[in-house]
Structure 1
């Protein structure tokens, strides 16, 4: 499959191990995949483990998501050279993402609503989105911080993919599901056999077992009402005293979309460039108006983020801004757990 996608002009990006972390990077063959490796994730903690065996996707979601390819961390907008303005040509490379989890497919759907669902769809986002070929892999081993079942986004991929794989053991094999015409064209070229009832039952069992081993859960009943109403809860001060405003949670979040513009000047050619870069509502300058920040405290910034993600996102986009991937919990250096904070505030 990797060879076929590369022959069709796609850069294949899949999970690899870099610095003892599963990162999404360009791959050229199955030998680049983290075969026999797993991970352990808890609040503020990530560790790789050696599981052995033939399994290639025996781990939970790492810090990278499809956001890096739908909304890159840095995009040049224009350059000025010798008093001439040069418009930057937006890049929309043909990329095949291998190993996308169900929660990340849900996050792409959230981004589609943000960037394409309004009166002014973003044409650059559309070009990048259309250039993506999505190969989902159904999650078999949720991390200790996952709660996709609570959010209704996983662990089994049901829509939004070109191909979906379920990795099965004894013997090691993959069940392949087709989700688009592009996916069907690739599937036709694979060395494959028709799935029998035992294969289908085994794939369903993988997802059923994963759903029963979520590391976290959250009760969302009435959250659109009680969370905004808890504006004066003392819990905001408590979590604000622990939060470092480091922006880790928003950087690894697959749906956070805030950006700012950054101007730079080259030392050698004197050319100036304006670029759009990822930003975060946890930075002090993010809400600056009239020379002063609207949200000057860490507790106010955390309240803004959590309330938007789980409540007011519905008012803005008609859906939740959280997909339950648990990245914000794992990669918070002080281990702040959104599911715990929501329970306490409630």
Structure 2
């Protein structure tokens, strides 16, 4: 089969039906309360149609157009993270025995096979980072291995996007099973795994024309040109700028709400706690998302190492763009821009990095 094939828009439903017939629960983008979220999907009629977005610092808006495209938007607040690293889960349960000892029960429930339509390149890159961090985590790995990923090349980036600067988009690079490039009248489809190839071989497709290839390449190049760019800075030196005035300025605005870490597709901080049952004999040990912006995140033995917002924001930014490079061989940012759009006070990390970079030079 050729590297890519052409699927007419009218046959997109055939792809959805094929995925469901393979035993997958399919999730795809839908408009919920004014935002695009991943929800159970059965029909193309549930997908956004002709929808575009406006994103800016502290702003996210959807606009309806007369277009036919289903994926003419960049992203919503939800990435792949909740499907693999869930917001709250029980790791184990304990039960008091008559002799006073405790009996522990592991709590790993087999996940159902799930296919996700509409994954962007920035989110695939973030998933690869999470794969590294949770490599030895059986809870994460079970859910990760149950996923079938259908990516979409991004043709309509938001004003907050900069995935071209991080080399994670606008096209899907790797980590997908199938990838679609949406054109005006259909899709170019390419496979990225054996599962994806098997699915592609069962579709009624044709060989793309030269014009269709050119259209796909043209819109990708246009998407690259429309994006913002990361400022110049040295990750190793960034960590040393503890006393820069930029931290004071951002601390005056930051609410320490943790929105940025919640919507970030690569952030992985969590806390653990015991949840006792009312019967007094059983308890569950739970893991839930946490944030380096929370007051208790840096608490160790009676002392908070980052007691104020200034220290917490500095920790987040320098870890994401600085020390993460030492840990994982690359920045922890994939250029999705969610932290900019969903910050309630419109803090823009690229502006902070620009200020820090000017000092470095």
TM-score, normalising length: structure 2:
0.90
Q: Work out which of the residue numbers 293, 301, 310 in structure 1 matches 2:312.
A: 301
Rate the CA distance shift 1:269–1:196 in 2: closer, same or farther, 3 A: farther
1:42 maps to 56
Q: Is the 8 A contact 2:150 2:177 kept in 1?
A: yes
Number of equivalenced pairs: 338
Displacement of 1:26 after TM fit?
A: 1.1
Q: Work out which of the residue numbers 219, 222, 244 in structure 1 matches 2:231.
A: 219
Rate the CA distance shift 1:183–1:93 in 2: closer, same or farther, 3 A: same
1:88 maps to 107
1:113 maps to 132
1:104 maps to 123
2:5 maps to none
Q: Is the 8 A contact 1:150 1:219 kept in 2?
A: no
Displacement of 1:269 after TM fit?
A: 8.7
Q: Work out which of the residue numbers 171, 176, 180 in structure 1 matches 2:193.
A: 180
Displacement of 1:264 after TM fit?
A: 1.8
- SS of the aligned residue for 1:80 comes to strand
Displacement of 1:82 after TM fit?
A: 5.3
Q: Is the 8 A contact 2:30 2:39 kept in 1?
A: yes
Is 1:228 the counterpart of 2:239 in the alignment? yes
Offset from partner CA, 1:82-108 (integer Å, 9 cap, x none): 544332124433111100001111111
- For residues 278 and 166 of structure 1, the distance between their equivalents in structure 2, rounded to whole angstroms, comes to 33
Rate the CA distance shift 1:333–1:270 in 2: closer, same or farther, 3 A: farther
Offset from partner CA, 1:144-185 (integer Å, 9 cap, x none): 11111111111011211111001101xx10110111110011
Q: Work out which of the residue numbers 103, 125, 142 in structure 2 matches 1:127.
A: 142
- SS of the aligned residue for 1:103 comes to helix
Displacement of 1:321 after TM fit?
A: 0.4
Q: Pairwise mapping of residues 301-340 of structure 1 onto structure 2 (< 5 A)?
A: 301-340=312-351
Q: Pairwise mapping of residues 136-147 of structure 1 onto structure 2 (< 5 A)?
A: 136-147=151-162
Is 1:292 the counterpart of 2:277 in the alignment? no
- For residues 324 and 110 of structure 2, the distance between their equivalents in structure 1, rounded to whole angstroms, comes to 29
- For residues 115 and 25 of structure 1, the distance between their equivalents in structure 2, rounded to whole angstroms, comes to 25
Runs of 4+ deviating beyond 6 Å: none
Q: Is the 8 A contact 1:15 1:99 kept in 2?
A: yes
- For residues 91 and 20 of structure 2, the distance between their equivalents in structure 1, rounded to whole angstroms, comes to 29
- For residues 258 and 206 of structure 1, the distance between their equivalents in structure 2, rounded to whole angstroms, comes to 36
Q: Is the 8 A contact 1:223 1:310 kept in 2?
A: no
Rate the CA distance shift 1:203–1:291 in 2: closer, same or farther, 3 A: same
Q: Is the 8 A contact 1:76 1:276 kept in 2?
A: yes
2:175 maps to 160
Displacement of 1:265 after TM fit?
A: 3.0
1:191 maps to 204
- SS of the aligned residue for 2:239 comes to helix
Rate the CA distance shift 1:82–1:123 in 2: closer, same or farther, 3 A: closer
- For residues 325 and 88 of structure 1, the distance between their equivalents in structure 2, rounded to whole angstroms, comes to 33
- SS of the aligned residue for 2:72 comes to coil
Q: Is the 8 A contact 1:36 1:58 kept in 2?
A: yes
Q: Work out which of the residue numbers 198, 203, 213 in structure 2 matches 1:200.
A: 213
CA RMSD, aligned part only?
A: 1.5
Displacement of 1:219 after TM fit?
A: 2.2
Displacement of 1:226 after TM fit?
A: 2.8
2:7 maps to none
Question: 5+ residue gaps in structure 2?
Answer: 1-14, 98-102
Displacement of 1:263 after TM fit?
A: 2.0
TM-score, normalising length: structure 1:
0.94
- For residues 67 and 274 of structure 1, the distance between their equivalents in structure 2, rounded to whole angstroms, comes to 21
